[in-house]
Amino acid sequence: MKKFAVVALCLLMAVSAWAAGGKVVVYTAHEETIINALVPMFEKETGIKVEYVKMASGDVIKRAKAEAARPQADVIWSIGGEQLEAESQILAPYTPKEWDKINPVYKVGTNWLPYTGIMNVFIVNTKMLTPDKYPKSWTDLMDARFKKNISSARADKSGSSYMQLCNVLSIYGDKGWDIYKGIMKNMVISASSGAVPKFVNDGEQAVGITLEDNAFRYFAGGGPVAIVYPTDGTVAAPDGIALLKGAPNLENAKIFIDWCLSKPVQEYLVDAMARRPVRIDCKDPKGLVPLSQVKTIPYDFGWAAKNKDAFVKKFVDIAMELGL
């Protein structure tokens, strides 16, 4: 009888899932490997087809904004929170299931939701630098010995790189522009933020400015790299997921968001990406430094969003001046 009840429950869950049907259209800056893993899982569990377009995070926002009068997508999945905050008017508020399980420290968005916890770090090549030569702070990256030896993406194209620029400005205020310009003089610009740690791992540059999870995967994989947490402070903040205003597949969009914030998916992201979870009932990735041992600084998403156009313009002007 018990076995019959279990089988009946499984059948009921399967029928309920497939009853949803239809599709959800997603714009995302997620890594292809994660998309390729999660999309089939979601489709199998819910019966909802995922149609996704992968773009750089800046392009995700540009496209969604251009289509705001007649939305073609339902969900923005995994881009920087400051980009979502800057365009919160094209997003629809939504309170997901199990909202009480989300860590309050990550509940910082206007019309967007935390998806994973991210942090800025330096990744260094241990064959090119000895520990005494590692950059310890943001200001260390200005040192002439790192000339053409720092890998970074562009702050006008990459959400994580924009957050790194804001990280410096948050610590040093107006003086931060001089510091960041000094860092830019030593940069080799990468086509994407995901390529930054690979260049360091492969010995093409000695240092990379990247996200903690990107660096950790190369470290955990046995690469010749080390992770450095800036002693003058690093932003610890969520990237986001959001429901687009006027989403044509509204109910399926909500199901997708709920699923992405569920405990099994958050635990998968911890294991697969070494991202810190946004839920209070999930553990941090094994092997990462505890947050209590890192000097973190608060990140004002509203400030970063409000000043984005001006900051990006200044970045582009400096990049043109330096020939980047």
Summarize the confidence of residues 310-316 as an average pLDDT.
95
- What interhelical angle do 308-322 and 175-184 show, nearest 10? 40
Q: Are residues 155 and 303 in the same domain?
A: yes
Q: Are 125 and 68 members of one domain? A: no
Number of domains in the chain: 2
Domain identity same for 280 and 315: no
Residue 273 has pLDDT above 60, yes or no: yes
User: What's residue 96's pLDDT?
Assistant: 96
How far apart are the C-alpha atoms of 213 and 124, rounded to whole Å?
14
Residue 40 lies in domain: 2-117+238-291
Closest C-alpha to 305, from 159, 58, 86: 86
pLDDT band at 57 (very low <50, low <70, confident <90, very high): confident
Nearest-5° angle of CA 162, CA 247, CA 32?
50
Same domain, 12 and 149: no
Average pLDDT over residues 250-259: 98
pLDDT at 20 (0 to 100): 52
Residue 136 and residue 230 in one domain: yes
Is 179 in the same domain as 302? yes
Per-residue confidence band for 286, with pLDDT thresholds at 50, 70 and 90: confident
Residues 202, 303, single domain; the answer is: yes
Residue identified by tokens 């990735």 is 285
25 in the same domain as 91: yes
Higher-confidence position of 89 and 57:
89
DSSP code of residue 289 = P
Do residue 33 and residue 91 come from a single domain?
Answer: yes
Residue 191 binned pLDDT confidence (cut-offs 50, 70, 90) = confident
Decide if pLDDT at 72 tops 50.
yes
Averaged pLDDT for residues 150-173: 92
Q: What is the mean pLDDT of residues 148-159?
A: 91
Pair 136, 220 in one domain: yes
Same domain, 310 and 297: yes
Q: Largest alpha-carbon pair distance within the chain?
A: 76
| Mean pLDDT confidence for 67-77 | 97
Locus of tokens 């959400």: 159
Q: How far apart are CA 100 and CA 91, in angstroms?
A: 21
What average pLDDT score do residues 205-233 get?
A: 94
The mean predicted confidence, pLDDT, of the chain is 90
Query: In this model, does residue 155 exceed pLDDT 60?
Result: yes
End-to-end CA distance of the chain: 70
CATH number at residue 69: 3.40.190.10
Same structural domain for residues 169 and 310?
yes
Residues 6+ apart with CB under 8 A from 27: 52, 53, 55, 60, 63, 64, 73, 75, 76, 77
